[in-house]
Amino acid sequence: MLNHMGYVSLALYAASFLVYARLLYAPKIWLGRLATLLLAGGIVAHYFALLERSMGTHTVPYDDLYGSMSLFAWLLGLTYLGLELFHRQRSVGAFVTLLLFAWMAILGWLAPHEMPSLPPARGPLFAFHVTLNTWAYAAFALSFVLSIVYLVQDRVLRSHRPGAAFWRFPALDVLDRMSRSSVFVGLAALAFGVASGLVWEHRLTGMYAWGDPKVIVTLLIVGVYIAYLFLSRTSGWRGARAARICTLNFAIVLFSYTLVNLYLTRFHRFF
Amino acid sequence: MAIASNTKTPAASRATGGIRVALIGCSHRTAPVELRERVAFTAEQALDAAGELRRRGILEEAVVLSTCNRSELYGVPAATDSAVTEEMEEFLTSFHGISRTELDGRLYRWEGTDAVRHLYRVAAGLDSMLLGEAEILGQLRTAYGQALDHGSTGPVLNRAFQGALEVGKRVRAETEVGARPMSVALAGTKLAERVFGNLKGHAALIVGAGAVAEQVVEHLRSRGIGNLRVVNRSHDHATELAQRMGGEAVRWELLEKVLAAPDIIVTSVSSTGPVLTREMLDRSIAARGGRPVFVVDLGVPRNVAPESAGLYNLYLYNIDDLGEIVEQNKRAREAEIPRVEAIIIEHIAKFEAWRAALQAGSIVEDLRGRFRKHREVLLRERLAEMKDLSPEERQRLSSITEELIERVLDEPAERLRNAREMRGRLGAIEALRHLFGIDRDSGKGGKGGGGE
């Protein structure tokens, strides 16, 4: 069950999705601004929902599945909003806000009634580490969504049979640029996240766990996304092939976020 | 455009209760272009005609809509004479110096609800040559705006035309009737936008130049395309085309050299085989770092080797592909017609409700006037027989009879105001008119709206 602000954010995400979807059919400036405003409102409400939970656990809500997923959704929304303002492009808003709404609705269904037990105190550096890494995963998830839309759009263009929705989809160039920006954000967050994690661990144990599967997979993620950024501007790779690489990269992110966290690592088993 | 007030009661309704819109016109559906151009109005002529129709007492309000596909006179008759469209037709023929026989079977005449429905269908693009096209809405807005500024409209046409503009706006916002490209040239341009997004600053190359290629260039130019080059076998022709299109002419021999630069290539060359081979395009894509290229092949036989479609990051559309898309879009637009009709019906109901409310007000006024006239005659006759009444008593009697009229009228006025069903309200108004002989009294018989 969501808290009050959680429900407010859910409603605002739903409203922003409806306005973004409407915007695809009626591209009006005021509609676009309204959609952005509703999304921003949803993100602010979501922040307060997370804050309420944080005050209960005295830390960033990452120690339980619900808190972690909610933080992920909030960072996804925030990253998208930043990209939208940076690229001045709202045509993918409908896809992202639909994902946000669905994610939050599932969370509302999954959310436990009671607050989680107090996690052990690990300090602000650890909180930065987890938050930044979650942010990186959210940004990679966003680039995944954008790449999927790119591949669909590319396929429709090549099939020569554009359907009704085709004319409303964002252009390939827009999807490509936004996906790259999203990966940039993800890589920056991941770099700082990994660095803060290493420092925190060194302070605690006096050593670095380079051999931990989570660390290895994270470094692999950094590698494959750098490769994506490079290839997406290389002849013979830019375009649909780069988009395919981006979607495959996200499979590694999912692997890291789920199987590695739950079964393989010693240090990153949170819930 | 100023927002017109609709609060004034039209003189027509004050006189007889008949508020109706009348229309005569001809369009691409009824008349060939030879006739349409003879009955067309310039902007000045449209205003002159509207003014003249009012001066001659044929119409109380008038708007003339004249486009390349239609010439229509809209008006509110100064009287409820059912022959108003005859008078409008007479005026049209005399204005343009055309004999009536030439217009036989070419003109349509609508009155009342049918006239409003026609206006709304025009605004929605349902009556256009190209279903759902948006240009007509701008033309309608201009014609109405000029008539409004000129003072030839009144509350009825203001209401009808503002309703039409609203219909046009809603139809384009809420339905797909005007959404998809309906010409090969526009379809090509829109597809390029699906690849590059904003075309501002992108480069295009036109190889050869047919009429459709020129249309594509016009669409590209209107979207702010940056660099435009024209290649043609005849360099003189290329130069002429480049000047006309605002681009740069390139010699035919340099075709392959300039292939790497453009993001969009439009070919329209008369040739027996492909002008652009797969190898040429492959090399050009490599030379541009693998950036996507959108190619529109308008040539028959095809100018671009069909196997080029398999090249990575090359999007190739030939004339048949674009033609098929246009056909698909046409079918999709046609499928939207019922939704458009529903919007039109909704707005006709709003207009009729407004008309009924106006008429409800006017019938009470008519009855009050009639009762007062009877009261004055009756009082004059009876008071002449009652010579012993003092002036105060006479005044008292006058006040009582005045109050009686107000009391008698209060209930029907209230009932008319509260009638939920617009149709019922109109029926009640007509019944009252008939019952009290108001139409007969005005000496101008006939019902209010021709469409009813």
The pLDDT tens digits of the residues spanning B202-241 come to: 999 999 877 778 888 888 988 889 899 999 988 888 898 8
CB atoms B313 and A239 under 8 Å: yes
Q: Which residues contact B81 (CB under 8 A, 6 or more apart)?
A: B87, B444, B446
Residues of B whose CB is below 8 A from A171: 193-198
Q: What is the dihedral of CA A65, A67, A68, A69, to 10 degrees?
A: 80
Per the DSSP assignment, residues forming a β-bridge with B74 are B23, B63
CB atoms B290 and A236 under 8 Å: yes
Q: How many structural domains does chain A have? A: 2
Q: How many structural domains does chain B have? A: 3
Interface test with B, best of A153, A169, A172 (most B CBs within 10 A): A172
Residues B314 and B276 in one domain: yes
Phi, psi of A52 (to 5 degrees): -60, -40
Is B5 domain-assigned?
no
Residues B341 and B413 in one domain: no
- Single residue among A118, A138, A166 that ends a domain in this structure: A118
Rounded Cα distance, B298 and B262, in Å: 17
Interface test with A, best of B182, B202, B313 (most A CBs within 10 A): B313
Give the nearest partner residue to B195 out of A157, A160, A238, using CB atoms: A157
Q: Is pLDDT larger for residue B432 or for residue B343?
A: B343
Residues A139 and A66 in one domain: no
B43-94 pLDDT tens trace: 999 999 999 999 999 999 999 999 988 999 999 998 765 689 999 999 999 9
Residues A105 and A131 in one domain: no
CB atoms A160 and B286 under 8 Å: no
The pLDDT of residue B231 is 93
B245-295 pLDDT tens trace: 888 999 999 999 999 999 999 998 888 889 999 999 999 999 999 999 999
| CB of A213 less than 8 A from some CB of B | no
Numbers of helices and strands, H then E, in chain B = 18, 10
CB atoms A162 and B286 under 8 Å: no
Residues A129 and A261 in one domain: yes
Domain holding A207, by residue range, is 122-271
Give the nearest partner residue to A173 out of B180, B196, B290, using CB atoms: B196
Is B285 domain-assigned?
yes
How long, in residues, is chain A? Answer: 271
| CB of A149 less than 8 A from some CB of B | no
Q: How confident is the model at residue A206 (pLDDT cuts 50, 70, 90)?
A: confident
Rounded Cα distance, A215 and B179, in Å: 51
| CB of A223 less than 8 A from some CB of B | no
Residues A254 and A230 in one domain: yes
- Single residue among A77, A102, A118 that ends a domain in this structure: A118
Residues of B whose CB is below 8 A from A88: none
Residues A234 and A212 in one domain: yes
Domain holding B282, by residue range, is 184-323
CATH of residue B230's domain is 3.40.50.720
Tell me the average pLDDT across B410-432.
66
Is B447 domain-assigned?
no
Rounded Cα distance, B350 and B339, in Å: 17
Residues B349 and B383 in one domain: no
CATH of residue B64's domain is 3.30.460.30
Q: How confident is the model at residue B444 (pLDDT cuts 50, 70, 90)?
A: very low
Q: Which residues contact A85 (CB under 8 A, 6 or more apart)?
A: A36
CA distance B289 to chain A (A): 5
| Active site (catalytic) residues of B | 68
Residue of A nearest to B290 (CA): A235
The pLDDT of residue A269 is 61
Tell me the average pLDDT across A171-200.
93
Residues B109 and B94 in one domain: yes
Residues A73 and A131 in one domain: no
Residues A172 and A257 in one domain: yes
Residues B17 and B145 in one domain: yes
Residues B26 and B67 in one domain: yes
DSSP B264-324: EEEEE---SS-SB-HHHHHHHHHHTTT--EEEEE--SS-SB-GGGGGSTTEEEEEHHHHHH
Place of tokens 């002419």: B249
Task: Kindly tell me if the per-residue pLDDT of B446 is higher than 60.
Answer: no
Is B448 domain-assigned?
no
DSSP H helices in A88-123:
93-110
Angle between helix axes A213-231 and A124-159 (nearest 10 degrees) is 40
Residues A112 and A149 in one domain: no
Give the nearest partner residue to A239 out of B194, B197, B292, using CB atoms: B292
Place of tokens 């809603």: B170
Residues B199 and B255 in one domain: yes
Residues A175 and A82 in one domain: no
Q: Which of A64-73, B3-12, B40-49 holds the top average pLDDT?
A: B40-49
Q: How far is CA A144 from CA A28, A133, A151, A252, in A?
A: 28, 16, 11, 12
- Check if the beta carbon of residue A146 is closer than 8 Å to that of residue A178: yes
Is B167 domain-assigned?
yes
Residues B126 and B103 in one domain: yes
Is B228 domain-assigned?
yes
Task: Kindly tell me if the per-residue pLDDT of B451 is higher than 50.
Answer: no
B130-185 pLDDT tens trace: 888 888 999 999 999 999 999 999 999 999 999 999 999 999 888 888 877 778 88
Residues A130 and A90 in one domain: no
Chain B interface, Cβ < 8 Å to A: 173, 176, 179-180, 190-191, 193-198, 285-286, 289-292, 309, 312-313, 315, 317, 321, 324-325, 328, 332
Q: Which residues contact A234 (CB under 8 A, 6 or more apart)?
A: B289, B290
Residues A112 and A136 in one domain: no
Q: How confident is the model at residue A115 (pLDDT cuts 50, 70, 90)?
A: low
